[in-house]
Amino acid sequence: MEFSQTSEPDVQKPIVIAAMQDMGNVGSIVIDFINESLKTKQFRKANSQYPSYIIDKGGYIDVPDEGWEYRFADDLIVFGGGAGQPRDNQELNALCQDVIDVAKKYSAKFIYTLGGFHTNRVLGKNPKTYVTTTSREITQQMQDMGIETTPQKSLITGFNGLILGFAKLNSLHGIGMYGELNEPKVPQYRAAISIIKTLEKLTYRKLGDTTSLELMAQEIDKSFEC
């Protein structure tokens, strides 16, 4: 993994929101939405040294430039979004540690991550968001606020789970938010909306109008009706 910094972000003790593409593209949908809505600015980039796939353009191939951006706005650092995440464990670990190092460099106290929560429960148009945290004390605070915690023990793989482990190992507080979904291979815009609303409640800040995401969810609904 290669890292390059283009500028210094104008932030003071920011919160960090970090997530990558996962089930239902939930992580990417939320991160890309926040970046567009808050007009964040790039200050750092991570690039994979080894591609996890190639693109067949019809008779010849191209090698993708896989990279993920660190962006900032108003005492907020946003990392990730885009397409994919490292398939190599060494690169994934290096990426998680770099996010932690950036958080500590700018005196961030809290890291939020997010993704999909696969369930067999039949969902309506208002999927729930479940949270898990880096300590029992924070979990109790979430429950006192009426926010549901993950209902059973499970393994959370990939960046959107591992980053919480890195946060805890580095004495940073962290919360993972996971929106319910039934179809992991279909973009889950309503799961993303549910997470955004939960994130707004936890951070006491408005992240943007989610109407465009609901319209995209409705287009997905129509495609299943055909």
- DSSP secondary structure, 74-139, as one string: SSEEEEEESS----SHHHHHHHHHHHHHHHHHTT--EEEEEEEEE--SPP-SS--EEEEESSHHHH
Q: pLDDT tens, 156-178?
A: 889 999 999 999 999 999 999 99
**51 has a pLDDT exceeding 80:** no
Report the pLDDT averaged over residues 45-57: 85
Of the pLDDT bands very low, low, confident and very high (cuts 50, 70, 90), residue 87 is confident
115's tokens: 């993704």
The lowest-confidence range among 9-23, 54-68, 125-139, 191-205 is: 54-68
Q: What distance lies between CA 196 and its chain's CA centroid?
A: 11
In this structure, what are the phi and psi dihedrals at residue 57, rounded to the nearest 5 degrees? -95, 20
Task: Give the N- to C-terminal CA distance of the chain in Å, as an integer.
Answer: 43
Q: Given pLDDT bands bounded at 50, 70 and 90, which one contains residue 101?
A: very high
Residue 139, pLDDT above cutoff 80: yes
Q: Are strands 67-72 and 76-81 parallel, antiparallel or unpaired?
A: antiparallel
Do the bridges between strand 76-81 and strand 15-20 make them parallel or antiparallel, or are there none, so unpaired? parallel
Amino acid (1-letter code) at residue 100: I
Angle, alpha carbons 170-77-125 (nearest 5°): 100
Residue 226 has pLDDT above 70, yes or no: no
Average pLDDT score over residue span 195-199? 97
pLDDT for residue 124: 83
| pLDDT at residue 99 tops 90 | yes
> Which whole number is the average pLDDT over 131-136?
97
pLDDT score of 223: 83
- Torsion sign (Cα): 137, 138, 139, 142: positive
pLDDT at 152: 82
Distance, CA of 166 to CA of 163 (rounded, Å): 5
Amino acid at 186: V
Closest CA to 190 of 216, 162, 157: 216
Average pLDDT in the 77-100 region? 92
Burial of 4 (0-12, 13-18, 19+ CB in 10 A): exposed
Domains of the chain: residue spans and CATH: 2-225 (3.40.50.10900)
Of the pLDDT bands very low, low, confident and very high (cuts 50, 70, 90), residue 64 is confident
Please compute the mean of the pLDDT values over residues 199-205 and round it to a whole number: 96
Q: Which residue has the higher pLDDT, 224 or 178?
A: 178
